[in-house]
Amino acid sequence: MSLVYLDNNATTRVADDVLEEMLPYYGDLYGNPSSMHFFGGQVSGKLTEARERVASLIGADASEITFTGCGSESNNSSIRSAVECLPDRKKIVTTRVEHPAILGPYKYLEDRGWEVSYLSVNTNGELDLNEVAEKIDDNTALVSCMWANNETGIIFPIEEIGRLAKSHGAIFHCDAVQAAGKVPIDLSDSTIDYLSMSGHKFHGPKGVGVLYIRRGTPFAPYLIGGHQEQNRRAGTENTASIIGIGKAADLAKGFVDVETTQVAPLRDRLEQGLLDTCMDAHRNGIGEPRLPNTSSIAFDYIEGESILLALSDAEICGSSGSACTSGSLEPSHVLRALGVPFTRVHGSLRLSLSVYTKDEEIDHVLAELPPIVERLRALSPFGH
């Protein structure tokens, strides 16, 4: 069997239809959408269509969509805007399990005098709404909570958190990078002010993101010096990628159902199969609801990286519970926040499926992975 790609939370394949729509804009249709002539107009018309398609995926109005360079930029821009728009408020509330593209900017602000409160999660990976209510007050400029966690897949009670934020006049930002295209998102009657998405997580291209800004919410741009994107993000547009993310959003409207009917049963079969056949294997974060495509499993006595390398030899791609930072392996802050013991974090594997994952690929992983675990344990001084 050729490549089995189960690392879709890291990035996804560009759908064939997406690539097909993008290609002419790298070729003959290279006009600048800001140009007055017909040639630029051909491109700006497609950008309008892309904006409408993305808006339609999330129940927004096209005027509420700003294209950015990636999910990380959307997160950074939201944070920067909120603290600039509410300068008298010096508090921020977020969770311990956010992506580094949220935690990094908050660390930056913390070092410059802002007070950042980090909400904890329980061993299931769930937030405590009482703690959320305690932490938000009238001095809070911004509350940030991800829609779904990239490592465990746990989905947070976004609207409840948003209501608490709004009751104190704070801006509410949601990082929906992992949720978009996998679960329904409808912002038509929502408490979310800013929302981040990223093209490459739902079968669109890399290098393009979305920042949704609810109509009427104040916004201070991060990139200034150009009129593009309604003066909200200066710089000549990444036209082909914007057209690509528009097509990806269009496809995602159909994929959301497939995630529930097809991807979740495959993920459950994979997960249960591994838990049944591998001794001392545990699901990290058994909370619900969770994304249909994500599974995080810890294998005691061995290291996730060793499993990854052995899987990679069998052309199976996943990811581990650690990140390589400055040459050393840092245990995942998400799994640590859940209270997963240090050694178990190092033995963790994240497998993330997509609408393109096939039944026989799951059979292949179920055949290959348990013997790898056994073999590594036999080599490990802690194995048995």
Instruction: Indicate which residues carry an active-site annotation.
Output: 324
User: Closest by alpha carbon to 338, among 275, 293, 287?
Assistant: 287
* Interaction between residue 190 and ligand PLP (CB under 6 A): no
In this chain, which of 21, 175, 193, 303 binds ligand PLP, going by CB under 6 A? 175
Least separation in angstroms between CB 239 and ligand PLP: 18
* Interaction between residue 198 and ligand PLP (CB under 6 A): yes
> What is d(CA 53, CA 374) in angstroms, rounded to the nearest whole number?
48
Least separation in angstroms between CB 10 and ligand PLP: 7
* Interaction between residue 332 and ligand PLP (CB under 6 A): no
* Interaction between residue 92 and ligand PLP (CB under 6 A): no
Least separation in angstroms between CB 148 and ligand PLP: 8
Taking the CB of residue 186, how many other CB atoms lie within 10 A of it? Answer: 10
Tell which positions 248-287 bind ligand PLP, by CB under 6 A. none
Beta strand 194-198 with 171-175: parallel, antiparallel or unpaired?
Answer: parallel
* Interaction between residue 177 and ligand PLP (CB under 6 A): yes
> What is d(CA 175, CA 148) in angstroms, rounded to the nearest whole number?
8
Which CB sits closer to ligand PLP, 70 or 249?
A: 70
Which CB sits closer to ligand PLP, 148 or 369?
A: 148
> What is d(CA 285, CA 292) in angstroms, rounded to the nearest whole number?
14
Q: Which stretch binds ligand PLP (CB under 6 A): 53-61, 68-76, 86-94, 340-348?
A: 68-76
Least separation in angstroms between CB 149 and ligand PLP: 7
In this chain, which of 8, 12, 66, 72 binds ligand PLP, going by CB under 6 A? 72
Q: Contact, 279 vs 376, CB < 8 A?
A: no
In this chain, which of 99, 214, 290, 350 binds ligand PLP, going by CB under 6 A? 99
In the chain, the amino acid numbered 198 is S
Dihedral of CA atoms 292, 298, 303, 307 in degrees, nearest 10, equals -40
* Interaction between residue 348 and ligand PLP (CB under 6 A): no
Distances (CA, A) of 286 to 152, 154, 260, 320, 325: 9, 8, 18, 18, 27
Handedness of CA 321, 323, 327, 329 (dihedral sign): negative
Q: What residue has token string 């977020």?
A: 94
What 3-state DSSP class applies to 155? strand
Which CB sits closer to ligand PLP, 77 or 140?
A: 77
- Which uninterrupted H or E stretch holds 348? strand 348-352
User: Closest by alpha carbon to 157, among 129, 133, 185, 179?
Assistant: 129
Q: Which stretch binds ligand PLP (CB under 6 A): 66-74, 215-223, 236-244, 264-272?
A: 66-74
Which CB sits closer to ligand PLP, 101 or 355?
A: 101
Which CB sits closer to ligand PLP, 156 or 369?
A: 156
Say how many CA atoms lie within 13 Å of 285 toward its Cβ: 32
Instruction: Name the DSSP class of 122.
Output: -
- What is the secondary structure of 48-85 as a DSSP string? HHHHHHHHHHTT--GGGEEEES-HHHHHHHHHHHHHHH
Q: Contact, 305 vs 322, CB < 8 A?
A: yes
Which CB sits closer to ligand PLP, 96 or 269?
A: 96
Least separation in angstroms between CB 367 and ligand PLP: 29
Site string for ligand PLP, 132-161 (x = CB under 6 A): --------------x---x-----------
Least separation in angstroms between CB 70 and ligand PLP: 3
* Interaction between residue 103 and ligand PLP (CB under 6 A): no
In this chain, which of 50, 60, 70, 264 binds ligand PLP, going by CB under 6 A? 70
Residues that bind ligand PLP (CB under 6 A): 70-72, 75, 99, 101, 146, 150, 175, 177-178, 198, 209
